[in-house]
């Protein structure tokens, strides 16, 4: 019985070490926020997890594919991303798409862009209005005062690593399978098993 108790304790400790190692690897790989989606560009070596608009950065939370705002006060947005990386508001209305594009620095980065369902001209950079969580095409004033829509090639100093801007808490991340709760439950089971084994041992010794 004592050997079984020691074995269970060793397994619990092993699970704790494995979970800590797995979480550290997930957080460190490519500077990812734990549970964010990594984009890999098929046309280059770019690997990015930050999603760029003209005025804000985001990441996609993998467990529910929700877009998380990184600029200003980090928080959830009412936008989700499907398997083809088309964006939809929680009310069901389409809201552009997320794609790789070449920025003004010649770097392939991830942008939240217009598509045919959002604007007549696709692949234009969006401006995120955080006050009411709406989107508009980003523009710049031309020489004659007209508003010229911006493409990714007009945008410089875009972001690839969401950790640079992230200052939110665990409530913005996906739940961890190997979290504190799982570790605590494992230790509790070990203590209960040890206590039960000790009581049985005392009862056996009391028998004549």
Give tens-digit pLDDT for 12-37.
444 444 343 333 333 444 457 888 99
Closest-CA residue to 129 (of 68, 56, 198, 190): 56
Which is higher by pLDDT, 190 or 22? 190
Which is higher by pLDDT, 55 or 17? 55
- What is the average pLDDT across 168-175? 89
**Average predicted confidence (pLDDT) for the chain:** 79
Q: Which long-range contacts (CB under 8 A, 24 or more apart) does 138-144 make?
A: 138/53, 138/54, 138/55
- What is the average pLDDT across 187-201? 49
Model confidence pLDDT, tens digit, residues 101-119: 999 999 999 999 999 999 9
**Is residue 205 domain-resident?**
no
**Is residue 207 domain-resident?**
no
Total structural domains in the chain? 2
Amino acid 149: pLDDT: 96
Which is higher by pLDDT, 185 or 57? 57
> Do both 11 and 51 map to the same domain?
no
Overall pTM surpassing 0.75 (yes/no): no
- What is the average pLDDT across 78-101? 97
Residue 195 has pLDDT above 70, yes or no: no
**Is residue 202 domain-resident?**
no
Residue 138 has pLDDT above 60, yes or no: yes
> Do both 145 and 78 map to the same domain?
yes
Residue with tokens 């005062």: 145
> Do both 191 and 113 map to the same domain?
no
Domain hosting 126: range is: 35-172
Q: 6-43 in b/e burial notation, b at 16+ Cβ within 10 A?
A: eebbeebeeebeebeeeeeebeeeebbbbbbbebebee
**Is residue 204 domain-resident?**
no
- Which of helix, strand or coil describes residue 196? helix
């Amino acid at each position: 019985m004592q050997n079984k108790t020691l074995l269970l304790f060793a397994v619990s400790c092993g699970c704790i070490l494995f979970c800590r190692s797995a979480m550290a690897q997930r957080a460190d790989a490519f500077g990812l926020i734990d549970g964010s989606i990594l984009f890999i560009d098929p046309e280059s070596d770019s690997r990015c997890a930050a999603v760029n608009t003209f005025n804000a950065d985001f990441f996609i939370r993998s467990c529910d594919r929700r877009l998380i705002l990184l600029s200003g006060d980090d928080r959830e947005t009412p936008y989700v991303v499907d398997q083809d990386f088309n964006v939809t508001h929680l009310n069901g209305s389409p809201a552009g798409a997320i794609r790789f594009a070449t920025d003004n620095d010649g770097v392939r980065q991830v942008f939240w862009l217009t598509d045919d369902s959002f604007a007549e001209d696709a692949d234009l950079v969006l401006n995120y209005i955080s006050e009411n969580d709406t989107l508009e095409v980003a523009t710049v004033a031309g020489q004659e005062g007209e508003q010229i829509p911006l493409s990714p090639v007009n945008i410089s100093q875009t972001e690839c690593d969401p950790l640079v801007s992230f200052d939110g808490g665990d409530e913005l991340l996906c739940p961890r399978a190997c979290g504190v709760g799982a570790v605590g439950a494992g230790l509790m089971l070990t203590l209960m098993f040890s206590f039960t084994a000790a009581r049985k041992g005392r009862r056996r010794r009391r028998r004549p």
